[in-house]
Chains A and B, each alone.
Chain A
Amino acid sequence: MIENLLNSANSLTATALPLAGFWFREAASENAGDVDFLFNAILWICVFFFVLIVAMMVVFTARYYARPGHSAEHTAHHNNALEATWSIIPLFIVMWIFGAGYWGYMNLRTPPDSAYEVQVIGKKWNWSFVYPNGYIDANLHVPIDEPVKLVMTSDDVIHSVFIPAFRVKMDVVPGRYSKVWFTANKMAPTDDGSGGEDMGGFDLFCTEYCGQQHSSMLAKVIVHESGTFQDWLVEASNWIDKTPPAVAGERLYKERGCAACHSIDGSTKAGPTWKGIYGTEEPLVSGESVTVDENYIRESILNPNAKVRAGFKPVMPSYQGQLKEREIDAIIWYIKSLSGEQAPDAWPDLPAEGEEGGEGEAPTDGEAAATDV
């Protein structure tokens, strides 16, 4: 008996709890509180008016429904005082809502000068987050409690960055730079803080429809505990040294846009497939032919139009300055592995520390540097 009561009380609270907070995901940025507050304020205003209207409907229907012996009464056809009341009161209410929304929005669109800057490039259908030292990651990593500004552009169609936990969203438009900023103040509940591969993080969605795989254009936002962001960045920037060359090449193939034009399954896109080409002899537009070896691949990356394969247009952009020597090596290893070559498990000649550090200083937590890349 008592047990039953307890059980039902338990299930009651279990259903009531989500009811209390079912509108939003937990907020994790400093501005989210204002947005949630305004949302809730509007919600209660709406509930008030909705209940008012529905109550009037119900009461009138119940009292004045047509039945024998009841007929409509002649009442006034209009009443200016009443009309004024129900125009002016809502007018003041919406003016207040407008003001509150305006205040929050201006705040959202004015990043503080000190904000740590991450560049964002959207393309069908993935995100590249470029950190001040040039390191590119497919996820967004940010330090906790520090303003972060995203400077965003698109390589193709319009995309949009939406981070529900931060309550921010901004379109990513080709041909211009858009900005959005936030200060993350919580780590994701799923984030174990290890910074490892399988860390959780907040969802980042593309919310401007961008074609076939729009719903797969996702990323995670990983908030780093205070003082650990720099270490992560340095560590991450050296990822290539710790990755077997062919595996590193595959990641670059996917993340740097090679995949848009080169297939690895033998099919022809805008450029030749990479499958099985290493070591072959291929005809060129000029009528000569070339052996696809390390030198030819390297040249094709840095100076693509020097030797264009027969049957293709000279459309590939040069990656001069965009890929480091080691990255080019990794890609070459990857292409070789697609022809069945055995790539080594590690880099044979690990370079001395600091080779990467040349460009862009990693910012220190606290006073973030907005470095141009």
Chain B
Amino acid sequence: MISQSREHTLLETIHNDPSRRVPVPQGPSYLTTPGAESIWDVVKSWAFTLDHKRIGVMYLVGIMTAFLLGGIMAGFVRMELWDGQPNLLGFLANDGEDPVTRAQDGYNQAFTLHGAIMTFLFIIPSIPGALGNIFLPMMLGAKDVAFPRMNLCSFYLWCFGALFFVGALFTTGLDTGWTFYTPYSTSTNTAVIAATMGVFILGFSSIFTGLNFVVTVNTMRPKGMTWFKMPLFLWGIYSTAIIQILATPVLAITLLLLIAERTLGIGVFDPSRGGDPVLYQHFFWFYSHPAVYIMILPGMAIISEVIPVFCRKHIFGYMFIAYSSVAIALLGFLVWGHHMFTSTESPMAAVIFSALTFSVSIPSAIKVFNWTATMYKGSIVLKTPMLYALSFLFLFTIGGLTGLFLGALSVDVHLHDTYFVVAHFHYVMMGGTLIAFLAGLHYWWPKMFGKMYNEFFASIACLLVFVGFNLTFFPQFILGTQGMPRRYAGYEPEFQSLHQMSTTGFVVLGCGLFLCLGVLIHSLLAGKKAPANPWGSGTLEWKACSPPTHHNFETTPWVGDPYVYDDFVYDPEIEGYVEVLPDLARGEVPAGAESEPSEA
């Protein structure tokens, strides 16, 4: 039992007896290049680095650039939809004279590149590539991932794949939608081969990252960190990695077949050559449904870290959260057919897929309930990462619940391929994954770069993002039920006011995101130096200095329960938390080693 003065006592302890502070080893930051004589040396040391943190930072820059590019495309899309007449995006079209068909062409390219860039270049690699790369090894108290060279290779594959996309962008464009459905994708004359090659290469990047993480978690856990003492972030990333390894090859094969179909006309998907276009959809969703869990599981993993830290409370239902990640990863493989309820798949298949779809919603619900329960009787600190976590809970709940409408067969028939689906997946992917990514970014920023950002403006940005997001996407649910199809460059006047609301929301959302970017960049230039542990977190990465050294830790840190905060005390002198060594002489045991309280 903790008395109210426990904090006080701990603070006195470390002031009277500095030796009871858990020491934080100091050293040169991994961001610096000691001994560099020219800028060229610095560039080389980054380009050939095997340091997982530097690779993570390069990923971060890469995916943020992709996000910006995808965001610009989204801006084009929303602008074109301000009114029902296709009239704005003609400048993106390749040929044709009629202004309306040119604008339609431009619109089709804009939404395709938006979707493809956001999915394949941003959201899939975002959390694993950037935050996972930096923090997965550190949470294990390790110096690096198991295969550092493969890790670097994965980053370069990402760059290479991204180049193919940008290439498509600057040549003939791409107008198939991110789903590349046949036979449209085999008949259009845009850069389908370049783009699918890009996705193919990105797939390998994803597989390499996944493989690396699985091996790292399996072989490099420190002594004392059993599976069920791992931070939940690792459970989430581990489940994701398994999907990446198992599902991505299917995408690779599908895209190869697509390329073969286009170049050789082999007739796998083309009905005029005896192929079956619906087969393509099975292949595609066999990857892409599990892929939506590649997107969301890491986001859930971040939320599972942020909430307990900012509630100063042990995570509730650790085992259930951990197992639900695995359940989602496995069940996620069995539900791809729910994207095809109106595709002429057999009614039998539709019924089975619908039933399985509902079974995936249970583990998601379990997580949401457990996160909420963690807040009960906590001490809730409303710092920016927590604000994002709360937004996540709000938005992901809407996203997940609207999945129930889509899983219900007869209702999905009406909603499929309308704006309802668009709103649903933006609530889960943007409201879920992107918001969780921002939560994680703000949470780990001080560790990554050793700088604190301006808390006030960061929370204003969070608020703008939250309001802007809802204003952008909530009206789209109504558009969808009203019957507005997706991927339409024009529409009837009755849809106009909802579309204008949505476009207005986009502007607010954009302001929020730019403010967020500004705050983070400002912190790099003029931020206060960050303490080693600004939030009082219990996971191992916080036991390194901020920013960490090349080797993270001098000695493997001591492993306790990652969610026990009793031994951390806020020291106003360093504006951060200090971990207090148990006084072993007096027979105290470290808090994490206690057996759990047993009362209900």
Interface residues in chain A, defined as those with a beta carbon under 8 Å from any beta carbon in chain B: 22-25, 31, 34-35, 38-39, 42-43, 45-46, 49-50, 53-54, 56-57, 60-61, 64-66, 69-79, 81-83, 86-87, 90-91, 94-95, 97-98, 100-109, 156-158, 160, 162, 164-165, 167-171, 173-176, 178, 203, 205-216
Contacts and interface: CB of A to CB of B under 8 A. Distances in A.
A203 B483 contact: yes
A113 to B, nearest CB: 17
Contacts of B355: 98
Interface in B450-487: 478, 481-483, 485-487
A76 to B, nearest CB: 5
Nearest to B368: A53
B485 A65 contact: no
Interface string B1-26: 11010110000000000000000000
Nearest to B314: A77
B372 A60 contact: yes
B104 A212 contact: yes
A102 B355 CA distance: 9
A285 to B, nearest CB: 25
A91 B404 CA distance: 12
B382 A75 contact: no
A72 B377 contact: yes
A64 B378 contact: yes
Contact of B380 (A64, A83, A87, A171): A64
26 contacts: A38-B411, A39-B414, A43-B405, A53-B393, A61-B382, A61-B390, A71-B4, A76-B599, A83-B320, A97-B404, A98-B409, A101-B412, A104-B409, A105-B351, A156-B183, A157-B187, A164-B483, A169-B414, A169-B416, A173-B271, A175-B276, A207-B416, A211-B188, A212-B101, A215-B488, A215-B490
Interface string B361-386: 11001101110110111111110000
A333 to B, nearest CB: 27
Contact of A42 (B272, B405, B482, B596): B405
Nearest to A40: B411
B489 interface: yes
A35 B312 contact: no
B9 to A, nearest CB: 12
B347 A83 contact: no
B343 A171 contact: yes
Contacts of B381: 65-66
Given A83-B317, A160-B417, A214-B488, A77 B377 contact: no
Given A25-B482, A57-B375, A35 B411 contact: yes
Interface string B53-83: 0000000000000000000000000000000
Contact of A158 (B181, B317, B482): B181
B358 interface: yes
B597 interface: yes
Given A158-B184, A208-B181, A71 B2 contact: yes
B162 interface: no
A178 B358 CA distance: 26
Interface string B557-581: 0000000010000000000000000
A97 B410 CA distance: 10
Interface stretch (B198-206, B238-246, B250-258, B394-402): B394-402
A39 B414 CA distance: 10
Give the 4 A-B CB pairs with smallest separation, nearest first. A175-B271, A104-B410, A164-B483, A101-B408
Contacts of A50: 397-398, 401
A90 B341 contact: no
A169 B342 contact: yes
B379 A64 contact: yes
A39 B411 CA distance: 6
Given A72-B378, A211-B184, A90 B410 contact: no
Given A72-B378, A73-B377, A76-B600, A169 B405 contact: no
A225 to B, nearest CB: 24
Nearest to A74: B597
A88 B47 CA distance: 52
Interface in B286-332: 311-320
Contact of B413 (A53, A82, A98, A168): A168
B418 interface: yes
Given A24-B481, A42-B411, A105-B354, 14 more contacts: A53-B397, A57-B390, A60-B378, A66-B312, A71-B2, A72-B311, A74-B597, A77-B316, A78-B319, A97-B408, A105-B409, A105-B410, A178-B344, A205-B488
A69 B485 CA distance: 55
Contacts of B401: 46, 49-50
Nearest to B369: A86
B318 A77 contact: yes
B183 A174 contact: yes
A211 to B, nearest CB: 6
A158 B183 CA distance: 7
B372 A56 contact: yes
A87 B411 contact: no
B175 A160 contact: no
B184 to A, nearest CB: 4
Contacts of B588: none
Nearest to B3: A71
Given A53-B368, A86-B365, A173-B277, A157 B183 contact: yes
Contact of B478 (A22, A53, A90): A22
Contacts of A171: 342-344
B177 A209 contact: yes
B358 A95 contact: yes
Instruction: Find the residue from B101, B365, B366, B483 having the highest chain A CB count within 10 A.
Output: B483
B410 A69 contact: no
Interface string B588-600: 0000000011111
A158 B376 CA distance: 51
A39 B477 CA distance: 13
A60 B375 contact: yes
A164 B598 CA distance: 56
B66 to A, nearest CB: 23
B213 to A, nearest CB: 27
A166 to B, nearest CB: 9
B538 interface: no
Nearest to A107: B410
Given A90-B365, A162-B485, A208-B181, A57 B372 contact: yes
B278 interface: yes
B377 A86 contact: no
A213 B397 CA distance: 36
B181 A24 contact: no
A207 B418 contact: yes
B108 interface: yes
Instruction: Find the residue from B344, B361, B382, B394 having the highest chain A CB count within 10 A.
Output: B344
